[in-house]
């Protein structure tokens, strides 16, 4: 059971409210942004119809994100580009994952956001957000994202989720494998291998 | 570099996404008002803002609609000049915008335009409860008590009684009303506005007739 209430002085049972939540659609969310009701100062994602506060990034989170970004950039070809914290499409949501490998060039996506079919890899760096990032498996599977990494900064390991089942009622990944610091993982997009990353290289220190 | 052998068998992972309302980004009264003004939220969406979250209002069934109209009519017979009766109009608090079924306000409608009345400005605030009884008793009661709404009625359709709550605690960890009196058919319910009894009406006049 989640912690009770949204503001601590009004102890509303969370389950009751969840049942009656009026979901914000992706279209409504876009209108809120276009009309300036939401501004870049509002650090939010739309997750299953709710505006959710994006977690602030500490130094370790930033280090790991940028480290992965550098490693991937060095090995990928011109047929792909990398985004950081940019929105992607999921039915009913608009998450902003820490990193994505997107097929094509940026100008291919001027008028639309990438979908699961465009995105060989999604990465979330989990420092304080591990539980939420694991729960996001359901959302990314629903969006058909073929490969989802959770980079667990505290445990110095990477959880790799593959084979999404986009079943509306119970989306999820069919396979999960954990890579420890001594392991290496192959970076593959559309069946083409681009190189290996040693997990230990993702994290600061030893 | 050596790749460690695959350790555990791969298993399907079905983590259920649960809405984590504790992480919800609060929608302010201003944001909500702009969403309504811009048509992002429409009247037929039947949505309220409660402590920063968008919440669906229960859809009204026929007994609810009838009770509301009869209540509106009964109140209009007793409410004196200097007050007016309104229905389904928004009231606001610091973090919520809700639409009570019926309410009595001092003055006239122009006094509450363009900004909606504060919940605490109502002289009498009424919710008609059928399927929404649990919510009206807990969530809404706490919200109104916290705001210092002096006079809160629940017209309880299921139990055929009007529950009159007074003496709110005001802001508190567990806001509530210190006094509750239930009025049943066969009695009259007094209408007290700002401490003054202005009249009364028969309780059964607020409820649908058995064949309605």
B92-96: average pLDDT: 93
d(CA A72, CA A149): 13
Reply yes or no on whether the pLDDT at B97 is more than 70: yes
Long-range contacts, stretch B112-115, CB < 8 angstroms, 24+ apart: none
d(CA A130, CA A58): 14
| Domain residue limits, chain B | 61-206
Reply yes or no on whether the pLDDT at A106 is more than 70: yes
Residue in chain B lying closest to A37 (CA): B31
Cβ B174–A11 below 8 Å, yes or no?
Answer: yes
B19-39: average pLDDT: 91
CB atoms within 10 A of CB A12: 21
- Which of A202-206, B58-62, B141-145 is predicted most confidently? B141-145
d(CA B21, CA A14): 7
Phi, psi of A189 (to 5 degrees): -125, 125
Cβ B56–A21 below 8 Å, yes or no?
Answer: yes
Q: List A53's β-bridge partners, or say none.
A: A44
With contacts defined as CB-CB under 8 Å, which chain A residues touch B20?
Answer: 2, 52, 132, 135
Distances in whole angstroms, Cα of residue B90 to Cα of each of B36, B97, B132: 11, 6, 18
Q: Is B59 on the interface with A (CB under 8 A)?
A: no
pLDDT for A169: 86
Report ipTM for this prediction. 0.83
Length of chain A: 206
Please give the model's pTM, rounded to 2 decimal places.
0.86
* pLDDT per position as a tens digit, B56-87: 987 778 899 999 999 999 999 999 999 999 99
Strands B117-118 and B91-92: parallel
| Domain covering A59-202 assigned CATH 3.30.70.20 in the classification | no
Cβ B52–A12 below 8 Å, yes or no?
Answer: no
Say which of A6, A35, A134 has its CB closest to residue B21: A6
Sheet strands (E) in A48-182: 50-53, 80-84, 99-103, 121-126, 147-152, 157-165, 172-179
Query: What does DSSP assign to residue B60?
Result: P
CB-facing half-sphere around the CA of B2: CA atoms within 13 A: 4
Spatial CB neighbours of A113, under 8 Å, sequence gap ≥ 6: A86, A87, A88, A89, A94
Dihedral of CA atoms A149, A152, A157, A159 in degrees, nearest 10, equals -30
* pLDDT per position as a tens digit, B102-132: 999 999 999 998 888 999 999 999 999 987 7
d(CA A170, CA A65): 30
Dihedral of CA atoms A59, A64, A66, A72 in degrees, nearest 10, equals 180
Spatial CB neighbours of A59, under 8 Å, sequence gap ≥ 6: none
Contact between residue B17 and residue A48 where contact means Cβ atoms under 8 Å apart: yes
B176-198: average pLDDT: 96
Contact between residue B167 and residue B142 where contact means Cβ atoms under 8 Å apart: no
Average of per-residue pLDDT values in chain B: 89
pLDDT for A12: 40
Fold of domain B61-206: tt1808, chain A (3.90.1570)
pLDDT classification of B212: cutoffs 50, 70, 90: low
* pLDDT per position as a tens digit, A24-58: 999 999 999 999 999 999 999 999 999 999 888 89
pLDDT for A14: 46
pLDDT for A206: 61
Say which of A18, A28, A161 has its CB closest to residue B21: A18
| Domain residue limits, chain A | 14-42, 59-202
């Amino acid at each position: 059971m989640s912690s009770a209430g949204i503001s601590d002085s009004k102890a509303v049972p969370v389950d009751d409210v969840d049942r009656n939540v009026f979901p914000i659609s992706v279209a409504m969310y876009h209108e809120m942004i276009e009309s300036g009701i939401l501004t870049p100062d509002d650090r939010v994602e739309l997750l299953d119809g709710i505006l959710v506060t994006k977690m602030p990034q500490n130094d370790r989170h930033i280090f790991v994100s940028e480290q992965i970004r550098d490693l991937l950039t060095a090995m990928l070809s011109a047929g792909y580009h990398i985004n950081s914290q940019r929105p992607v499409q999921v039915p009913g949501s608009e998450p902003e994952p820490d990193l994505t490998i997107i097929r094509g060039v940026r100008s291919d996506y001027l008028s639309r956001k990438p979908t699961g079919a465009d995105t060989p890899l999604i990465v979330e760096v989990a420092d304080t957000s591990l539980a939420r990032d694991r729960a996001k498996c359901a959302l990314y599977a629903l969006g058909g994202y073929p490969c989802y990494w959770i980079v667990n900064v505290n445990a110095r390991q990477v959880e790799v989720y593959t084979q999404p089942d986009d079943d509306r009622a119970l989306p999820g990944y069919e396979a999960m494998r954990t890579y420890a610091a001594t392991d290496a993982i192959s970076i593959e997009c559309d069946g083409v291998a681009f190189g290996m990353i040693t997990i230990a290289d993702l994290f600061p220190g030893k | 570099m050596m790749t460690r052998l695959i350790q555990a068998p791969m298993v399907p992972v079905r983590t259920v996404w649960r809405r984590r309302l504790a992480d919800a980004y609060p929608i302010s009264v201003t944001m909500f008002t702009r969403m309504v003004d811009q048509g992002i939220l429409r009247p037929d969406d039947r949505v309220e803002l409660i402590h920063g979250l968008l919440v669906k209002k229960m859809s009204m069934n026929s007994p609810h609609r009838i009770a509301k109209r009869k209540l509106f009519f009964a109140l209009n017979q007793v409410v004196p000049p200097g007050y007016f009766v309104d229905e389904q109009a928004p009231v606001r608090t610091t973090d919520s915008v809700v639409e009570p079924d019926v309410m009595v306000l001092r003055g006239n409608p122009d006094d509450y335009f363009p900004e909606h009345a504060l919940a605490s400005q109502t002289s009498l605030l009424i919710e008609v409860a059928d399927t929404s009884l649990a919510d009206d008793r807990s969530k809404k009661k706490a919200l109104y008590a916290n705001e210092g709404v002096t006079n809160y009625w629940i017209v309880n359709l299921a139990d055929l009684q009007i529950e009159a709550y007074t003496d709110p605690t005001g802001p508190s960890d567990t806001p509530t009303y210190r006094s509750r009196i239930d009025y049943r058919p066969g009695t009259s319910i007094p209408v007290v506005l700002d401490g003054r009894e202005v009249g009364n009406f028969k309780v059964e006049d607020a409820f649908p007739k058995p064949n309605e």
